[in-house]
Structures are given as structure tokens and as C-alpha cells.
């Protein structure tokens, strides 16, 4: 009786594992970007916001994604508010990612 219960439990765990692997393989990437202060005097804020984004993405993607999409973030540096680096970061995000 114990071996049968263990076998059924093992099969259930394997089924859940393989269905989650198959489900994650079907997800399409949803790319989005952030322009943050990753250097300069405001780098602490940019680093903190990037970490928060990474945590949220990991939680969402591990739960099966969002509406069939796997979230992928790209971070660019505006060097603590300088306009030229911010414009360059925007151009890079919109043209490449």
C-alpha cells in the first residue's frame, strides 16, 4: 500500500513538473525597457528599482507568465538625469529592444 501511494505521488509530481516545463516553452517573450540611474549620484535608486523589477519578473514568470508572455526587461542608464544619455537610452530601447 505504501509503495503504491509513493508511486502515485511521484507520478503526480512528475506530471506537474513536465506540464510546467511544457507551458514555459510555449510562452512568447514580452520585452520592455527601463531607463534608470545606474551610475552617478542617483545610482542607489536605479539599482534598487532594477532589483525590484527583477524580483517581480521572476515571480510572474515562475507563475506561468502574464497572458501567455514571459517578461524580459532591458535596463539602460540615464546617468542620474543627464539628458543626452537619457535620449540615447531611449533610442537604444526603441530601436534595438
What is the pTM (predicted TM-score) of this model? 0.67
Q: What does the pLDDT read at residue 26?
A: 82
Backbone φ and ψ for 93, nearest 5 degrees, come out as -65, -40
User: Is position 18 within any domain?
Assistant: no
Domain housing 76: 28-95
Each residue of 31-46: pLDDT tens digit? 999 999 999 999 999 9
User: Is position 69 within any domain?
Assistant: yes
User: Is position 21 within any domain?
Assistant: no
Confidence class of residue 15 from pLDDT cuts 50, 70 and 90? Answer: low
Bridge partner residues of 34 (DSSP):
75
User: Is position 52 within any domain?
Assistant: yes
Q: Assess contact for 37 and 75: CB atoms under 8 A.
A: no
User: Is position 7 within any domain?
Assistant: no
Please tell me the total count of domains within the chain: 1
User: Is position 85 within any domain?
Assistant: yes
- Residue keyed to cell 545610482: 43
User: Is position 8 within any domain?
Assistant: no
User: Is position 53 within any domain?
Assistant: yes
Find, among 59, 41, 51, the residue nearest to 75 by Cα.
51
Amino acid at each position: 500500500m505504501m509503495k503504491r501511494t509513493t508511486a502515485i505521488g511521484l507520478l503526480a509530481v512528475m506530471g506537474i513538473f513536465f506540464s510546467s516545463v511544457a507551458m514555459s516553452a510555449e510562452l512568447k517573450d514580452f520585452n520592455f525597457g527601463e531607463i534608470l540611474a545606474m551610475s552617478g549620484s542617483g545610482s542607489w535608486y536605479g539599482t534598487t528599482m532594477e532589483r525590484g523589477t527583477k524580483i517581480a519578473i521572476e515571480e510572474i514568470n515562475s507563475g506561468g507568465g502574464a497572458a501567455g508572455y514571459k517578461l524580459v526587461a532591458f535596463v539602460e542608464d540615464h546617468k542620474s538625469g543627464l539628458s543626452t544619455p537619457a535620449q540615447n537610452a531611449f533610442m537604444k530601447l526603441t530601436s534595438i529592444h
